[in-house]
Chains A and B, each alone.
Chain A
Amino acid sequence: MTTQEIHGILDKYKHDKTRLMDILYDIQHKTNYIPMDKVDIIADELNMSSADVEQTISFYHFYSTKPRGKYSICLNNSVVANMKGREFVAQAFKDELGCEFGEVKDDIGLFETSCIGMSDQEPAALINGKVFTNLTTYRVRELIRDMRLGMKVDDMFANTFGDSMNSSPLIKSCVRNSLKRTGPILGQEYIPGKTLKKQVALMSPQDVINELKKSHLRGRGGAGFPTGIKWEFARKAKGEKKYVFCNADEGEPGTFKDRVILTEKPGMVFEGMVIAAYAIGASEGILYLRYEYRYLRKYLVDVLDKMRKNNSLGKNPGGIKDFEFDIRIQLGAGAYVCGEESALIESAEGKRGEPRNRPPFPVEKGYLGFPTVVNNVETLIAAVRIIQNGGEWYQKLGTKESTGTKILSVSGDCLFPGIYELEWGFTVRTLLEMVGARNTQAVQVGGPSGALIGPEQFDRNVCYSDLATGGSMIVIDNRRDLLKDVVLNFMEFFIEESCGSCVPCRNIPTLLKQKLEKILEGKATNKDFDDINNWAKMMPINRCGLGHTAANPIITSLKNFRHLYRERLKKDIEFESGFCLDDAIRESCEFVDRIPNI
Chain B
Amino acid sequence: MEKKIAHFTIDNKECTATTGVSIINAARENGIFIPTLCHYEGVKPAGSCRVCTVKVNKRHLTACTTPVAEGMEIEVDTAELNDLRSSVIELLFTEGNHYCPACEKSGNCELQALAYRFGIMAPRFPYQFNERDVDASHPKIYHDHNRCILCKRCIRIIKDEKDLPAGSQGRSIFAFNQRAKKVKIKLDDRLGKELSDELAQKAMDICPVGSILVKETGFKTPIGQRKFDKEAISLDNSINLKAMKEAHHE
Interface residues of chain A, those whose CB is within 8 Å of chain B, are: 40, 47-52, 54-55, 58-59, 335, 352, 357-359, 495-504, 506-508, 510-511, 514, 531, 535, 537-538, 540-543, 578
Contact call B183/A500, Cβ cutoff below 8 A? yes
Question: Which A residue sits closest to B163, measured CB to CB?
Answer: A47
Contact A52 B171 (CB under 8 A): yes
Are A504 and B172 touching (Cβ within 8 A)?
no
A500 and B175 CA atoms in complex are apart in Å by: 13
In whole angstroms, how far apart are the Cα atoms of A358 and B47 in the complex? Answer: 10
Q: Which of A40, A49, A495, A531 makes the CB contact (< 8 A) with B180?
A: A495
Which residues on B sit within 8 Å (CB–CB) of A507? 91, 94-95, 125, 128, 181
Q: B160 to nearest A CB, angstroms?
A: 7
Are B126's CB and A51's CB within 8 A? no
List the 10 closest pairs (A to B, CB-CB), nearest first. A500-B183, A51-B188, A51-B175, A357-B65, A55-B175, A357-B47, A49-B171, A49-B188, A501-B48, A498-B180
A506 touches B95 (CB 8 A): yes
B128 to nearest A CB, angstroms? 8
**7 interchain pairs (CB within 8 A)?**
A51-B174, A54-B177, A59-B179, A500-B179, A501-B48, A504-B88, A541-B60
Q: Which residue of A lies closest to B185 (CB)?
A: A51
Closest chain-A Cβ to B63's Cβ sits at a distance in Å of 11
A308 to chain B, nearest CB (A): 34
**How far does the Cβ of A145 sit from chain B's closest Cβ, in whole Å?**
35
Partner pick for A48 among B46, B48, B171, B186, CB 8 A cutoff: B171
Q: List residues of chain A with CB within 8 A of the CB of B171.
A: 47-49, 52
Q: Smallest distance from the beta carbon of A519 to chain B beta carbons, Å? A: 15
Residues of B within 8 A of A358 (CB): 65
B43-69 toward A: CB 8 Å interface, digit per residue (1/0)?
Answer: 001111110010000001010011100
B residues with a Cβ closer than 8 A to A are 45-50, 53, 60, 62, 65-67, 84, 87-88, 91-92, 94-95, 124-126, 128, 149-150, 152, 160, 164-165, 168, 171-183, 186-191
Q: A47-B168, A495-B181, A500-B178 are in contact. Are A54 and B95 (CB under 8 A)?
A: no
CA distance A335 to B188 in the complex (A): 24
A146 to chain B, nearest CB (A): 33
Q: Give the Cβ gap from B156 to chain A, nearest Cβ, in Å.
A: 12
Query: Once bound together, how far apart are the Cα atoms of A48 and B188, in whole Å?
Result: 11
Please state if B91 and A503 are interface contacts (CB–CB under 8 Å): yes
Contact yes or no, B49 A503, CB < 8 A: yes
Residues of A within 8 A of B179 (CB): 58-59, 335, 352, 498-500
Q: Given A59-B178, A503-B50, are A50 and B188 neighbors across the interface (CB < 8 Å)? A: yes
Residue pair A541, B180 in contact (C-beta under 8 Å): no
- Take A49-B160, A51-B188, A504-B88 as given contacts and tell me if A499 and B173 are in contact as well, using a CB distance cutoff of 8 Å: no
Please determine whether B191 and A506 come into contact, CB atoms closer than 8 angstroms.
no
B180 touches A506 (CB 8 A): yes
* Chain A residues, Cβ within 8 Å of B165: 47
CA distance A540 to B92 in the complex (A): 18
Are A543 and B47 neighbours in the complex by a CB distance under 8 Å? yes
Give the CA-CA distance A500 to B176 in the complex, in Å.
10
B87 touches A538 (CB 8 A): yes
A500-B188 contact in complex given A51-B172, A359-B66, A538-B84, C-beta closer than 8 Å: no
Instruction: Give Cα distance in the complex from A298 to B163, angstroms.
Output: 41
Given contacts A55-B176, A55-B186, A357-B65, contact A510 B168 (CB under 8 A): no
Q: Are B45 and A503 in contact (CB under 8 A)?
A: no
CB contact between B84 and one of A48, A50, A59, A541 (< 8 Å): that residue = A541
Q: How far is the CA of A258 from the CA of B57 in the complex (A)?
A: 36
On chain A, the residues within 8 Å of B172 by CB distance are 48-49, 51-52, 55
Given contacts A47-B164, A48-B171, A50-B189, contact A58 B47 (CB under 8 A): no
- Are B181 and A49 within 8 A (Cβ)? no
A7 to chain B: closest CB distance in Å? 18
- Residues in B with CB closer than 8 Å to A514 are 126
Q: Shortest beta-carbon distance, A482 to chain B, in Å?
A: 25
* Residues of A contacting B176 in the complex (Cβ-Cβ under 8 angstroms): 55, 59, 352, 500
Minimum C-beta distance from A544 to chain B (A): 10
Nearest opposing residue in chain B for A578, CB measure:
B126
Contact partners of B50 in chain A: CB under 8 A: 502-504, 541-543
A502 to B65, CA, bound (A): 14
Query: Closest approach, in angstroms, between the C-beta of B133 and any C-beta of chain A?
Result: 16
CB distance from A461 to the nearest CB of B (A): 27
> In the bound complex, how far is the Cα of B95 from the Cα of A58, in angstroms?
21
B-side contacts of A506, CB under 8 Å: 95, 150, 180-181, 183
Residues from chain B with a CB closer than 8 A to the CB of A535 are 87, 125
Residues of chain A with a CB closer than 8 A to B125's CB: 507, 511, 535
Do A54 and B175 touch (CB < 8 A)? yes
* Minimum distance in angstroms from B98 CB to a CB of chain A: 14
Min distance, Cβ B234 to any Cβ of chain A, angstroms: 22
Most buried by A among B94, B179, B191: B179
CB distance from A365 to the nearest CB of B (A): 13
B182 cross-chain contacts in A, Cβ below 8 A: 500
Known: A55-B186, A58-B177. A541 touches B150 (CB 8 A): no
Q: Which of B88, B149, B180 contacts A500 (CB 8 A)?
A: B180
Interface core residue of A52, A54, A541 (most chain B CB under 10 Å): A541
> Is the CB–CB distance between A52 and B175 below 8 Å?
yes
Contact of B190 among A50, A501, A538, A540 (CB under 8 A): A50
Query: Shortest CB–CB separation between residue B196 and chain A, in angstroms?
Result: 15
| Contact status B175-A504, CB under 8 Å | no
Q: Does B91 contact A51, Cβ atoms closer than 8 Å?
A: no
How many angstroms from the CA of A118 to the CA of B248 in the assembled complex?
A: 56
CA distance A55 to B177 in the complex (A): 5
- Give the complex CA separation of A503 and B46 in angstroms: 12
Chain B nearest CB: distance from A495 CB in Å?
6
New contact pairs (5) apart from A49-B188, A51-B174, A500-B182, CB-CB < 8 Å: A59-B179, A495-B180, A500-B178, A500-B181, A503-B92
Contact: B181 with A51, CB < 8 Å?
no
Shortest Cβ distance from A395 into chain B, in angstroms? 30
A291–chain B nearest beta-carbon distance, Å: 15
Give the docked Cα–Cα distance between A502 and B37 (Å). 12
Complex CA distance for A55 and B175, rounded to whole angstroms: 6
> Which residues of the other chain, A, contact B66 by a CB distance below 8 angstroms?
359
Bound together, the chains give a CA A40 to CA B190 distance in angstroms of: 9
Please, which residues of chain A bring their CB within 8 A of the CB of B62?
A: 357, 543
B187 partner residues in chain A, CB cutoff 8 A: 51
Given the known inter-chain contacts A59-B178, A503-B50, please indicate yes or no for A54 contacting B67, CB distance below 8 A.
no
Q: Which residues of B contact A511 (CB under 8 A)?
A: 125-126
B residues within 8 A CB of A52? 171-172, 175, 188
Contacts A357-B45, A511-B126; A49 near B173 (Cβ below 8 A): yes
Using Cβ atoms and an 8 Å threshold, which residues of chain A touch B175?
A: 49, 51-52, 54-55
Cα-based distance from A173 to B88 in the complex (angstroms): 47
User: Nearest chain B CB to A168's CB is how many angstroms away?
Assistant: 36
